[in-house]
Amino acid sequence: MFFLILWACNPKDEPKVPVYTTLMRLTGDTTDVTTTTSYGVCLMGGSTDVDTALKWMIAKSGGGDFVVLRADVSYGYNPYIRKLGTVNSVETIVIRSNSDAINPAVARKIRNAEALFIAGGDQADYVRIWKDTPVEDAINFLINSKKVPVGGTSAGCAVLGTSYFSALKGSVTSSSALNNPYSSYITLGHNDFINNPLLQNTITDQHFSQRGREGRLITFMARIKTDTGTNPHAIAVDEETAVCVDGNGVATVFGTNYAFFLETSSLPEICINNLPLTWNQNGQAVSVCKIIGTTTGYGSFNLNDHSIISGGTWLWYYVENGIFHTNTN
């Protein structure tokens, strides 16, 4: 581990030069390389990481420099990713403060990456510290100009959609969300952070089945539909599972549990502050495709026309007076 410190001494009558102290650790070759990359997004559901998904990212990186961003101090991804495939280097950058987020060296290292992965933690840290800073600009540069693979797990996955749950006032349970879709804990952002063309008008959720987040996700979608008038999409990922979306919008599911692809064009019947949500539409409020993950990525889904390519089944989610239901007919 080392500290990157930029400093300068000035006479009293000159402006002070900023002092940046950012935690970074690099494993591999320190020389920056340029490789041929291809754009893609990896959405990982948390808990144990999915090896095949990270190998997918490494392949799309062309073996270049793999950068990991996080807000807590840990460097476990460095040896782990190095063991999964051939990369020039793996570097973890810990961005814990606004000072870190405006450090020119941080933005430069992100922009030089051929793959970027956002670790788990608390997405409120990422939104509060990274938003409207050179870190945000560098991430969007990788996605939209350099076109490299970008991924994240748990909280890192949560911020990759163009709509996102920021958790700036803490997390929210399904029960709480369903009973008041305008609870102060439901802090949503739209089109103002990470600009990801593969996930336009899409919100993500993670630890999905394991933490019973079906009700809160359908509430997020109800709010997006009500507040913006757009037809929201969502991708929800179970633990130990990953959704890898290639540049053509084809999503492949790796891992051991399920991924869920949701869409709707209907308005909730009742989506009002301090009243339970009702979004029934004859038991067909939100259509859901459920796909099991495998080590080979057998199940896949087309985000362009919202159709199953292989391995999926259809169902419906709906809500009546704050009670979540699944309709398999």
Beta carbons within 8 Å of 127's beta carbon, 6+ residues apart: 159, 164, 166, 167, 168, 189, 193
The pLDDT tens digits for 266-294 are 999 999 999 999 999 999 999 999 999 99
Residue 222 CB coordination number (10 Å): 27
3-state secondary structure at position 231: coil
What pLDDT, on the 0 to 100 scale, is given for residue 46?
97
The pLDDT tens digits for 199-221 are 999 999 999 999 999 999 999 99
Length of the chain: 329
Q: State the helix-helix crossing angle for 77-84 and 51-61, rounded to 10 degrees.
A: 70
Whose CA is closest to 57, among 30, 28, 87, 33? 87
Tell me which of 3.40.50.880, 3.30.300.20, 2.40.50.100, 3.40.630.40 is the CATH number of domain 22-160: 3.40.50.880
Positions of CATH 3.40.50.880 in the chain:
22-160
What pLDDT, on the 0 to 100 scale, is given for residue 18?
74
What pLDDT, on the 0 to 100 scale, is given for residue 14?
52
Q: What torsion, rounded to 10 degrees, do the Cα atoms 256, 258, 259, 265 define?
A: 170
Residue 147 CB coordination number (10 Å): 15
The pLDDT tens digits for 12-31 are 555 565 778 899 999 999 99
Q: What residues of the chain score a pLDDT lower than 70? A: 1-17
Whole-prediction pTM: 0.93
What pLDDT, on the 0 to 100 scale, is given for residue 19?
75
| Cα 218 to Cα 256: distance, rounded to the nearest angstrom | 24
